[in-house]
Amino acid sequence: QVQLVESGGGLVQLGGSLRLSCAASGIIFRSYAVAWYRQAPGKSRELVASADSSASTNYHPSVKGRFTISRDNAKNTVYLQMNSLKPEDTAVYYCYAGNGATGSWGQGTQVTVSS
């Protein structure tokens, strides 16, 4: 059974930093692409950052230069380091892992940036 468990969300002030973690189990993690999505109230879910199985990364333009996605295949964990946070980054952040044939979501973790 695939399980993705996020942690690291919380309340932070404008300009602050947070690091999200997503621990995976039940999959051959190193062969999966991983990603972070977010969904703000009243908006659709959007891709924030992704890393494929070779660790090639991609970012939403609004977070490029501020956020960094990384993966530790030995720990079956993907991270999202978020710096210079803005109020518009406030959302529920979801971890995703997929291999082209199937994909799974985490339960989400709330990130709130106050001004």
Structure-block tokens of residue 85: 């946070």
66 within 8 A of 84, measured Cβ to Cβ? yes
Chunk the chain into consecutive blocks of 10 residues (it has 115) and report each block's average pLDDT, rounded to whole numbers.
95 98 95 97 97 95 98 97 98 96 96 97
Structure-block tokens of residue 40: 């703000």
pLDDT at 87: 97
User: Strand, coil or helix: what is 68?
Assistant: strand
